[in-house]
């Protein structure tokens, strides 16, 4: 049986600060009003802990699409590969922004599989990014 552990407000603040208050996957800014949650990188059902090492800030939609998944399909090779792990991997090693900043580009099988599994170039996100660019809060500098 799964046990949900209470996560303190202090730990949540630390995790949000570590992520620069952006989703660890799609990099959407919390300050734009995007609802954020704490994602278990290794899901509880797979034995992941509710601690700093296994929690990352994620927007609600990335967290929902990720669910209990730890792998996704790289549409280029067809291979099933591990999804991006924001604590063990650097975002820029696996993703880049398109020249206009609207789309995420997968640089690796892991990046491509994460984009496909979490729908990181959905119409909604592209429209939101268009507005965030006008507001000067997208794409993130790092
Ligand atoms: Zn997200």
Question: From the CA of 53, how far away is ligand 1's center (Å)?
Answer: 19
Q: Which two tokens stand for residue 27?
A: 């990099």
Encode pLDDT of 5-40 as tens digits: 688 999 999 999 999 999 999 999 998 888 899 999
29 CA distance to ligand 1 middle (Å)? 9
Average pLDDT over residues 112-140: 97
The environment of the single-atom ion ligand 1, i.e. residues with CB closer than 5 A, is: 23, 25-26, 59, 62
pTM for this entry: 0.93
CA 59 – ligand 1 centroid, Å? 4
- Rounded Cα distance, 75 and 71, in Å: 13
List the Cα angle 128/82/138 in 5-degree steps.
Answer: 20
Nearest to 18 by CA among 72, 81, 87: 87
Ligand 1 centre distance from Cα of residue 22 (Å): 8
* Cα gap 93→86, rounded to integer Å: 11
CA of 127 to the centre of ligand 1 (A): 14
In contact, 84 and 110? CB cutoff 8 Å: yes
DSSP H helices in the chain: 9-18, 60-66, 91-94, 109-117, 123-135
Give the residue with greater pLDDT, 4 vs 11: 11
**Span 62-86, pLDDT tens digits:** 999 999 999 999 999 999 999 999 9
| Alpha helices by DSSP H, 22-122 | 60-66, 91-94, 109-117
Cα–Cα distances in angstroms (integers) from residue 110 to residues 72, 88, 131, 142, in the given order? 8, 12, 28, 19
Round the average pLDDT of the chain to a whole number and report it.
94
């Amino acid at each position: 049986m799964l046990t949900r552990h209470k996560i303190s407000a202090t730990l949540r603040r630390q995790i949000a600060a570590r992520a620069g208050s952006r989703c660890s996957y799609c990099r959407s800014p919390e300050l734009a009003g995007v609802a954020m949650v704490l994602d278990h990188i290794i899901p509880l059902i797979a034995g992941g802990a509710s601690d700093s090492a296994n929690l990352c800030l994620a927007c609600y939609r990335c967290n929902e699409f990720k669910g209990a998944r730890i792998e996704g399909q790289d549409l280029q090779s067809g291979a099933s590969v591990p999804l991006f792990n924001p604590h063990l991997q650097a975002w820029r090693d696996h993703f880049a922004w398109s020249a206009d900043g609207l789309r995420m580009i997968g640089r690796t099988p892991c990046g491509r599989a994460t984009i496909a599994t979490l729908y990181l170039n959905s119409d909604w996100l592209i429209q939101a990014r268009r507005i965030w660019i006008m507001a000067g809060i997208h794409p993130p500098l790092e």
